[in-house]
């Protein structure tokens, strides 16, 4: 090998080493801060792991920070689990914070369940917070335009009520459990049922707690993601006298029906009268026709000889008598 070829090989080798060195320098510079944080916190994520995450299109910063939070909070799960959750479209930081909060509050919540809750579209962090700090749900929901629930007691008096429901999240039923809308609908139904079954509206006004007791006994939180702790009647008002208004409407309807029936009877009477007038005219026409037929019948009888002469009638004593006394 001549000297020129050897120099070319040396140059290419040096160039490759320089390129490789620059590449390693940039890689080291890019991941050095994350690697130092991982080493200092005991997260256990090495350079190879960081490069592998990048090749798998996983956000390295998100995974490292989530892993550091978990380690510092003494929550144990594998880095692969975080990567799988990220690739599945989950919210890794929120899931980790939820698990840490649950661990601090002695609520049993493992990574698998937390990931399932997050991937199901539920806010797992909010679920844990609500489980620790119960929240209040207004019934009805004022954001939907309705401020009070209307119901009518047996005496016909309308009552308008508004309730505050204190609920706590049931972690075991978050997946597949009904949401707040179901709680609002069921509590509203319980309020209407309780007021509607009361004989007098004053009973509910004097003891509004009967609504809370009835609703709590009904177990309306079954099948939901919440556990109802208490139901408080925040406001109750007297509305209209629905019974009296319904009676007035019924009386008005009866009056209109009676008027309609009377009008129908009058119309039938007028029709009957017109029918009788038509029959009278028809009978008169028949009489006129009969009278018109009499001369023709007499003439036909004379022609046929069925009418006797005046002498024969006189002999039989049936003829007309002479008023002068003559024969």
pLDDT in tens, the chain (327 residues): 556 666 666 667 766 777 666 566 566 656 777 777 777 777 777 777 777 787 788 888 888 888 888 888 888 778 888 888 888 888 888 999 898 888 888 888 888 888 888 888 888 888 888 888 888 989 888 888 788 888 888 888 888 888 999 988 888 888 878 888 888 888 888 888 888 888 888 888 888 888 888 888 877 777 788 888 888 888 888 888 877 778 888 888 888 888 998 989 889 898 888 889 988 888 888 888 888 888 888 888 887 777 665 554 455 555 555 444 443
Alpha helices in 76-234 (DSSP H): 79-87, 92-104, 111-119, 124-132, 180-196, 201-206, 209-217
What number of residues does the chain have? Answer: 327
- pLDDT at position 250 is 85
Task: Say if CB 194 and CB 211 are below 8 A apart.
Answer: yes
Please report the pLDDT score of residue 21 as a whole number: 62
The domain limits of the chain are 11-130, 135-241
Nearest to residue 180, comparing CAs of 226, 123, 122? 226
Q: What's the Rg (C-alpha) of the chain? A: 52
Buried b (16+ CB within 10 A) or exposed e, 75-96: bebebebbbebbeeebbbebbb
pLDDT value of residue 323: 46
- The CATH class that applies to domain 135-241 reads alpha beta
| Rounded alpha-carbon distances, angstroms, from residue 46 to 52, 239, 241 | 10, 71, 76
Using CA atoms, how far apart are residues 199 and 122, in angstroms rounded to an integer?
43
Could you tell me if 190 and 211 are in contact, meaning their C-beta atoms sit under 8 angstroms apart? yes
Burial class (CB in 10 A: 0-12, 13-18, 19+), 187: buried
User: What is the Cα–Cα distance from 78 to 98, expressed in whole angstroms?
Assistant: 16
pLDDT of residue 327: 37
First and final C-alpha spacing in the chain: 191
Point out which residues pair with 137 in neighbouring strands. 165
Q: What is the pLDDT of residue 325?
A: 45
Q: How many CB atoms lie within 10 A of CB 195?
A: 27
The C-alpha atoms of residue 53 and residue 60 are separated, in whole angstroms, by 6
Distance CA 152, CA 174 (A): 35
pLDDT in the model for residue 316: 53
């Amino acid at each position: 090998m001549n000297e020129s070829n050897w120099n070319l090989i040396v140059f290419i080798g040096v160039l490759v080493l320089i390129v490789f060195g620059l590449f390693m320098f940039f890689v080291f510079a890019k991941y050095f801060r994350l690697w130092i944080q991982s080493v200092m916190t005991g997260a256990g994520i090495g350079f190879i792991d960081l490069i592998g995450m990048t090749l798998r299109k996983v956000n390295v910063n998100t995974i490292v920070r989530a892993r550091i939070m978990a380690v510092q909070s003494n929550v144990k799960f594998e880095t692969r689990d975080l990567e799988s959750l990220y690739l599945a479209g989950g919210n890794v930081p929120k899931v980790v914070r939820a698990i840490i909060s649950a661990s601090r509050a002695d609520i049993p919540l493992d990574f698998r369940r937390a990931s399932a809750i997050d991937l199901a579209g539920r806010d797992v962090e909010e679920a844990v917070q609500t489980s620790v700090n119960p929240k209040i749900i207004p019934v009805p929901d004022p954001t939907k335009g309705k401020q009070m629930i209307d119901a009518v007691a047996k005496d016909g008096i309308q009552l308008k009520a508004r309730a505050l429901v204190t609920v706590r999240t049931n972690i075991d039923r978050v997946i597949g459990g009904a949401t707040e809308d179901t709680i609002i609908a069921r509590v509203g139904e319980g309020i209407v049922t309780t007021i509607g079954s009361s004989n007098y509206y004053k009973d509910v006004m004097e003891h509004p707690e009967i609504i809370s007791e009835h609703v709590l006994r009904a177990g309306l939180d079954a099948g939901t993601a919440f556990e109802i702790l208490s139901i408080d009647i925040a406001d109750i008002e007297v509305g209209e006298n629905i019974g009296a208004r319904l009676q007035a409407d019924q009386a008005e309807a009866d009056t209109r029906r009676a008027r309609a029936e009377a009008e129908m009877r009058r119309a039938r009477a007028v029709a009957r009268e017109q029918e009788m007038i038509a029959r009278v005219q028809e009978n008169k026409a028949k009489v006129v026709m009969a009278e018109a037929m009499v001369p023709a019948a007499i003439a036909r009888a004379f022609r046929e000889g069925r009418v006797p002469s005046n002498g024969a009638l006189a002999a039989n004593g049936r003829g007309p008598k002479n008023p002068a006394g003559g024969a």
